[in-house]
Amino acid sequence: MAKKPASGQEMWGGRFAAKPDEVMEAINASIDVDKRMAAEDIQGSRAHVRMLADSNIVSETDRDAILEGLDQVEQEIVGGDFPFRKDLEDIHMNIEARLKEIIGEPAGRLHTARSRNDQVATDFRLWTRQALQTRADQTRGLMEALLEQADLHADTVMPGFTHLQTAQPVTFGHHLMAYVEMFSRDRSRFLDCQDRMNESPLGAAALAGTGFPIDRQKTAADLGFKAPMANSLDAVSARDFAVEAVSACSICAMHLSRLAEEIVIWASAQFHFVRLSDAWSTGSSIMPQKRNPDAAELVRAKTGRIYGALQALLTVLKGLPLAYSKDMQEDKELTFLAFDALDLCLASMTGMVSSWTVDKSAMRAAAAHGFSTATDLADYLVRELGLPFREAHHVTGATVKLAEDKGCDLAELSIDDLKSIEPRLTDAVYSVLTVEASVNSRQSYGGTSPVRVREQVSRWKELLS
Ligand code: ARG
């Protein structure tokens, strides 16, 4: 039978006579949050003890005992029967205490030339590095889903808006490709951040480094870091990597919320541009006609908690003197929260986009409303009749007014109506008044024309393959 496990205080309480207050224990413990870094903590300990043995700081026998003990700890955690204890504060002390129960005395040698300060910084960097990779991959998955839809809808015409007022016809593919561009920048922010933060704090010890002849290059390489961090104070104090990561999450959430808002609008009965699949819609308990875009609304809403985490993180870190302060323990919960929310948002958005049904005819009809080809008429007057653009704008304004008075679209005005405003107009003008002509004409680089959209779809498919 294992002997009674050490209390948290037994880990550091050499000069303490009384036990901590219950509330002290409650405010101090982080195990409920940081147990998520158990795998990273074990990974860090393995690298550390291998290096300690290679540097003749612990014996090979002790190293092997520690490694075997860590294997068992890992199995218990994976198997769900690890005895997590609040009185042991955090994941670092929980694992070390359990290791001691399993292997006894050699466990005490693992913490040589190490402190929880460099340990937690290492675990947290390992966790964040992986989380950034996963979000980058998910963002890529969303881009692929958008690309598929953009390909399908390269020549589906919809109204383009400014101020949410009909502006000019665009292609739905073009609209979706705008999001591909945004999410590609989000993805590169995740990867840039990952690259910048990929340095090892391990070996900085409490704050000043250590007198033991450790090899920080070795542990850094073992853990897949590019290099050890060059300043031990920075190594244990810096959390800008988490701020940057949550900031990248925030920007991505902001983009997701814009697409989510568009989905809410498009899925309304008034627009009817898209219909979310059953898997991504909810009904109402009282109104049987409803198909609610709950997931899109929640993607929109979760942006709040992600920004909140960023604000809270910045505030927690503001004004902290070097080096470690316990304030920093709050960083993980906020970071996990932001990454978790973004995880759900990216997955939901990908699910909605890849399974929605697009109502092309509703989009086309809406595109033809609101005099969306007025700019095409003005451009035509400049091109064909040599009018200065300002005058063309004026003539077009009068034409729109006439159509408005008659309750019809520009293309529905008779040639006599048109001539009453500009006598030099001929039947040829009708060729620019349709929405298809409008989008086809916009072939400038980056424009909405189907040829340009298809080019961009191929370019992105190539880039992502
Ligand atoms: N649980 C702590 C944290 O998350 C670990 C570091 C504790 N270091 C200390 N000096 N008390 O920040």
The confidence score (pLDDT) of residue 5 equals 47
Catalytic residue (one of 268, 284, 414, 458): 284
Q: Is 163 a catalytic residue?
A: yes
The residue with tokens 């008429």 is 377
CB 329 less than 6 A from any atom of ligand 1: yes
**So what's the pLDDT on residue 116?**
98
C-alpha 426/C-alpha 136 separation (Å) is 54
Best mutation site among 325, 329, 333 for ligand 1 pocket (most ligand atoms within 8 Å of CB): 329
What mean pLDDT value characterizes the chain? 95
Is it the case that residue 1 has pLDDT exceeding 80?
no
CB 236, CB 207: distance < 8 Å: yes
End-to-end Cα spacing for the chain: 56
* 206 CA closest ligand 1 atom index: 10
| CA nearest to 69, candidates 77, 153, 408 | 77
Retrieve residue 27's tokens. Answer: 């405010």
322-361: pLDDT as tens digits: 999 999 999 999 999 999 999 999 999 999 999 999 999 9
pLDDT tens for residues 14-30?
888 888 899 999 999 99
* Cα 142 from Cα 115, distance rounded (Å): 41
Q: Where are the beta strands (DSSP E) in 249-351?
A: 274-275
Q: How many residues does the chain have?
A: 465
Burial of 15 (0-12, 13-18, 19+ CB in 10 A): exposed
Q: Give me the long-range contacts of 448-453 (CB less than 8 A, separation at least 24).
A: 448/160, 448/169, 448/170, 448/171, 448/174, 449/171, 450/154, 450/155, 450/171, 450/173, 452/174, 453/150, 453/154, 453/155, 453/171, 453/173, 453/174, 453/177
As to burial, measured by CB atoms within 10 angstroms (0-12 exposed, 13-18 middle, 19+ buried), residue 444 is exposed
At residue 308 the predicted structure's pLDDT band, cuts being 50, 70 and 90, is very high
Cα 35 to middle of ligand 1, angstroms:
13
pLDDT at 223 > cutoff 80: yes
Q: Give mean pLDDT, residues 38-45.
A: 98
pTM over 0.85: yes
Does the beta carbon of 324 lie inside 6 Å of ligand 1? yes
Q: Please compute the mean of the pLDDT values over residues 382-392 and round it to a whole number.
A: 95
**Top-confidence residue, 369 or 440:** 440
Cβ(120) – ligand 1 distance below 6 Å = yes
Cα–Cα–Cα angle for 444, 449, 453, rounded to 5 degrees: 100
Q: Is pLDDT above 80 for 7?
A: no
**456 CA distance to ligand 1 middle (Å):** 49
Q: Which DSSP state fits 91? A: H
Convert the pLDDT of each residue in 254-291 to its tens digit.
999 999 999 999 999 999 999 999 999 988 787 878 88
Q: How far is the CA of 120 from the centre of ligand 1 (A)?
A: 7
Give the whole-angstrom CA distance, residue 49 versus residue 213: 13
Report how far ligand 1's centroid is from the alpha carbon of 33 (Å): 12
| Residue 89 alpha carbon, nearest atom of ligand 1 | 1
149: confidence class by pLDDT, cuts 50, 70, 90:
very high
Burial (CB count <10 Å: 0-12, 13-18, 19+), residue 211 = exposed
Q: What does the pLDDT look like over 104-136, one tens digit per residue?
A: 999 999 999 999 999 999 999 999 999 999 999
Determine whether 284 is an active site residue.
Answer: yes
Please determine, for residue 4, whether its predicted confidence score (pLDDT) is greater than 70: no
381 has a pLDDT exceeding 70: yes
242 CA from centroid of ligand 1 (Å): 16
Query: Could you give the 3-state DSSP secondary structure of residue 425?
Result: coil
